[in-house]
Amino acid sequence: MTDRPASWRMPTPKQMEKLAAEAARRPSASTAAPEAQLSAEYWESVLKDPRAGTTEAQMRQRRLSEVQRHALRVSCRRCERTVEIQTADAVRFYGANALWKDVAQRLLDNTCQQRTGRHEEDGCWPAFETP
């Protein structure tokens, strides 16, 4: 054993109970005042976010030229595969006016691994990441 200072020793059960009781009496930052007002700067930044006030369906309907993210990502609910493309590349390949949902479906379909031969069952089922 190495010689360690007394502060490194494990607390006794009595000390642990005392520490637990003190922690229970003292409110932590995460539990203190859940109804506390958030700062005006916080709300201003939330409302300035381009995604504020839009639904997931509206986001899928965005044209690539309207997407602010550097990369676009879509995953398949069926095979759990994820495909990612840089927004600039997507614009170059599919055009600035292409809808994000159409591009995402094409990206998945081009590399689909679930082929049964039946049109109704073939293909991937997109789960869109929020652009």
pLDDT of 89 reads 92
Cα distance between the two ends of the chain: 56
pLDDT tens across the length of the chain (131 residues): 556 666 667 888 888 888 888 888 876 655 545 566 778 888 788 777 766 666 666 667 788 888 888 888 888 887 788 888 898 999 999 998 998 888 888 888 776 666 666 656 666 777 776 54
* DSSP tag of 4: -
User: Order of strands, edge to edge, in the sheet holding 126-128?
Assistant: 82-86, 71-76, 126-128
Q: Which two tokens stand for residue 106?
A: 């094409």
pLDDT computed for residue 12 by the predictor: 86
Token pair of 29 as six digits = 């930052």
Task: Return the pLDDT at 131.
Answer: 45
Q: Can you tell me the distance from the alpha carbon of 101 to that of 128, in angstroms, rounded to the nearest whole number?
A: 8
pLDDT the model gives residue 92 = 92
By the 8 A CB rule, do 74 and 82 touch? yes
Pairing of strands 82-86, 71-76: antiparallel
How much is the pTM? 0.50
Rounded to whole angstroms, how far apart are CA atoms 49 and 46?
Answer: 5
